[in-house]
């Protein structure tokens, strides 16, 4: 049985909103990933089951490999490739009419770009449900637990606390599992607590097929994506003195190999397969804005989020990110190398800790 984490008062207050209000808007962060889409869609199914008028809003589109998640065809995008004014009008209207706005998988309104201004102007009640550090103070109810593996894990706890587990559908469970799986790299980081796998067992009892979900998320790409992966890996910078590898992806290469949103998902994890690498960085030139998207991954106890902070970003122990506007890919790469010198001792300590773990496993 799961130990209750969420404040009973927050649960009771949100339950009262469900009783009182009818129009709910659910918002995920810009460049939504599996946890953002999974949590938003699971919440959508829950509120729909409760008879509410629910609408999921995303600041921009999510990768094609998440479109199979049940209900994604109903999502309203503020921006898409066509930048249609109809999208803007629709999102503005639903937020204007909302009685409750549920903010999932982000900790401050800047993470939803222009949509954040619409939320600020709204008179709706606001719920923040998230697992990132340092949540901003903009919600009427804030449920924040950075130690949780994902927002989907936290949402499962909230839905269970609301007495919804018995009525949970396979569709909801699939959305929740997808978020948990993707935000832990297939349960390879941020996932050493036993209750994570207890929740997975409860989701399995709802009829999900975890193997099919894995294939839909990880084996659902185009041949161009595989060519892109090879091209990116061929340009990898390996820095053995820092136990680090850096990957880069330029706009030019994206155009040449017909890049689609989400094609580079998971690239940052690939160099972790190199012996002695414990920290990786992936730098991608954004195709819509003059900025570099920065992703970090690590193994063991090396703190990705501390590196991300030096770039104005944040995240978790083993997964973090940032955005660097107004600089070139070459400049961003040099910035990372410069910052690595500040963390050289920690990188070496983390590497030695991993070596000790390996030694103890061999001796056991």
* Residues 297, 212 share a domain: no
* CATH code at position 129: 3.90.1640.10
* Residues 131, 12 share a domain: yes
**Residues 170-178: what's their mean pLDDT?**
98
* Residues 236, 206 share a domain: no
Give the pair of three-digit tokens for residue 148: 């949780």
Domain containing 290 equals 223-360
User: Per the domain annotation, does 143 fall within a domain?
Assistant: yes
Condensed to tens digits (0 to 9), the pLDDT of residues 215-236 reads: 999 998 888 899 999 999 999 9
**Confidence grade of residue 358 (pLDDT, cut at 50, 70, 90):** low
* Residues 229, 186 share a domain: no
**Residues 136-153: what's their mean pLDDT?**
96
* Res. 81: pLDDT tops 60: no
Pairing of strands 244-249, 291-298: unpaired
* Res. 30: pLDDT tops 70: yes
Q: Of 189, 217, 245, which residue constitutes the final position of a domain?
A: 217
Q: Of 167, 185, 217, which residue constitutes the final position of a domain?
A: 217
Measuring CA to CA, which residue among 116, 100, 97, 107 is closest to residue 59? 116
pLDDT at 289: 84
User: Per the domain annotation, does 67 fall within a domain?
Assistant: yes
Give the span between the Cα atoms of 31 and 70, in whole angstroms.
Answer: 19
* Res. 200: pLDDT tops 70: yes
**Residues 74-88: what's their mean pLDDT?**
80
pLDDT at 359: 62
* Residues 125, 167 share a domain: yes
* Residues 110, 56 share a domain: yes
* Residues 233, 202 share a domain: no
Q: Of 181, 202, 217, which residue constitutes the final position of a domain?
A: 217
* Residues 237, 156 share a domain: no
Give the span between the Cα atoms of 61 and 147, in whole angstroms.
Answer: 28
Q: What percent of the chain has pLDDT over 70?
A: 97
Give the span between the Cα atoms of 135 and 182, in whole angstroms.
Answer: 22
Q: How many domains does the chain have?
A: 2
Query: Alpha carbon of 254 to those of 229, 250, 286, 338: distances in Å?
Result: 11, 6, 10, 26
DSSP 174-194: HHHHHHHHHTTTTTTSS---H
* Residues 316, 250 share a domain: yes
User: Per the domain annotation, does 309 fall within a domain?
Assistant: yes
pLDDT at 86: 78
Give the span between the Cα atoms of 221 and 21, in whole angstroms.
Answer: 41
Measuring CA to CA, which residue among 259, 185, 182 is closest to residue 225? 259
* Res. 85: pLDDT tops 60: yes
* Rounded-to-10 torsion of CA 257, 262, 265, 268: 60
User: Per the domain annotation, does 3 fall within a domain?
Assistant: no
pLDDT at 360: 64
Give the span between the Cα atoms of 125 and 119, in whole angstroms.
Answer: 10
327 burial level (CB within 10 Å; 0-12, 13-18, 19+): middle
* Res. 82: pLDDT tops 60: no
Average the pLDDT over each of 89-103, 163-177, 217-231 and give the range with the smallest value: 217-231
* Residues 265, 117 share a domain: no
Measuring CA to CA, which residue among 336, 239, 243 is closest to residue 284? 336
User: Per the domain annotation, does 288 fall within a domain?
Assistant: yes
Condensed to tens digits (0 to 9), the pLDDT of residues 261-315 reads: 888 989 999 999 999 999 999 999 998 889 999 999 999 999 999 999 999 998 8
* CATH code at position 303: 3.10.310.30
pLDDT at 363: 66
The SS3 of residue 221 is coil
Q: What percent of the chain has pLDDT over 90?
A: 85
* Residues 145, 239 share a domain: no
* Residues 274, 131 share a domain: no
User: Per the domain annotation, does 1 fall within a domain?
Assistant: no
């Amino acid at each position: 049985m799961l130990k209750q984490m969420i404040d009973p008062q927050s649960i009771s207050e949100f339950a009262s909103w469900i009783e009182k209000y009818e129009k709910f808007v659910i918002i995920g962060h810009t460049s939504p990933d599996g946890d953002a889409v999974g949590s938003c869609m699971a919440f959508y199914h829950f509120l729909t089951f409760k008879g509410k008028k629910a609408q999921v809003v995303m600041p921009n589109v999510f990768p094609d490999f998440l479109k199979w998640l049940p209900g994604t065809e109903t999502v309203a995008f503020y921006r898409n490739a066509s930048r249609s004014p109809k999208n803007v009008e629709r999102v503005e209207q639903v937020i204007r009419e909302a009685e409750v706005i549920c903010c999932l998988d982000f900790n401050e309104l800047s993470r939803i770009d222009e949509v954040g201004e619409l939320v600020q102007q709204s008179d709706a009640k606001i719920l923040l449900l998230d697992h990132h550090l340092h949540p901003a103070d903009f919600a009427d109810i804030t449920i924040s637990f950075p130690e949780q593996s994902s927002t989907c894990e936290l949402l499962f706890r909230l839905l269970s606390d609301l007495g919804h587990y018995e009525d949970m559908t396979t569709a909801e469970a699939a959305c929740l599992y997808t978020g948990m799986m993707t935000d832990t790299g297939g349960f390879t980081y941020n996932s050493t607590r036993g209750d994570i796998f207890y929740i997975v067992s409860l989701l399995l009892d709802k009829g999900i097929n975890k193997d099919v979900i894995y294939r839909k998320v990880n084996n659902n790409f185009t041949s161009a994506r595989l060519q892109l992966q090879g091209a990116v890996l061929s340009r990898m910078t390996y820095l053995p003195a820092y136990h680090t590898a850096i990957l880069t992806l330029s706009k030019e290469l994206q155009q040449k190999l017909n890049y689609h949103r989400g094609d580079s998902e998971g690239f940052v994890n690939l160099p972790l397969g190199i012996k002695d690498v414990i920290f990786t960085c992936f730098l991608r030139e954004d195709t819509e804005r003059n900025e570099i998207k920065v992703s970090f991954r690590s193994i063991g106890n090396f703190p990705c989020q501390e590196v991300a902070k030096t770039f104005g970003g944040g995240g978790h122990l083993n997964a973090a990110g940032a955005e660097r506007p107004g600089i070139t890919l070459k400049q961003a790469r040099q910035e990372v190398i410069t910052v690595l010198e500040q963390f050289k001792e920690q990188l070496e300590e983390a590497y030695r800790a991993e070596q000790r773990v390996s030694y103890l496993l061999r001796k056991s």
